[in-house]
Amino acid sequence: MTEIDDLLKGLEVCPDLRARVEHVLNLLPTEVREDFLHDPGFTIALDNYVPGQGSTVFMAMPGPTGDSSRSIVLKPLLADCNKDFAWYVIAHEFAHAFLRNGAWGEIADPEDAANALGAHWGFPRPKETPWSRFRRR
Ligand SMILES: [Zn+2]
Give the residue from 99, 68, 26, 127 showing the smallest Cα distance to 107: 99
Using the mean position of ligand 1's atoms as its centre, give its distance from the Cα of residue 14 in Å. 22
136: pLDDT confidence band, cut at 50, 70 and 90? Answer: low
Calculate how far, in angstroms, residue 85's C-alpha sits from the geometric centre of ligand 1: 13
Q: What is the mean pLDDT of the chain?
A: 84
For position 134, what pLDDT does the model report? Answer: 54
Confidence band of 58 (pLDDT split at 50, 70, 90): very low
Q: How many Å lie between the centroid of ligand 1 and the Cα of residue 114?
A: 6
Residue 1 CA to chain centroid, in angstroms?
22
Cα separation, 112 vs 105, in Å, equals 11
- Looking at residue 116, its pLDDT comes to 98
Query: Rounded to the nearest whole angstrom, what is the distance from the C-alpha of residue 105 to the centroid of ligand 1?
Result: 17
pLDDT at 56: 46
Q: Calculate how far, in angstroms, residue 1's C-alpha sits from the geometric centre of ligand 1.
A: 30
1 confidence band (pLDDT: 50, 70, 90): confident
Dihedral in degrees, nearest 10, Cα atoms 33, 36, 45, 18? 20
Answer whether 66's CB lies under 8 Å from 97's CB.
Answer: yes
Q: Ligand 1 centroid to 86 CA: how many Å?
A: 13
pTM (predicted TM-score): 0.81
Ion ligand 1: protein residues whose beta carbon lies under 5 Å: 111, 114
Rounded to the nearest angstrom, the distance between the alpha carbon of 31 and the centre of ligand 1 is 21
Percent of the chain clearing pLDDT 70 (strictly above): 77
Ligand 1: distance of its center to the CA of 40 in Å? 22
65-107 pLDDT per residue, tens:
444 458 898 988 899 999 999 999 999 999 999 999 999 999 9
Task: Please tell me the distance between residue 91's alpha carbon and the centre of ligand 1 in angstroms.
Answer: 10
pLDDT digits (tens, 9 = 90+) for 59-70: 444 444 444 458
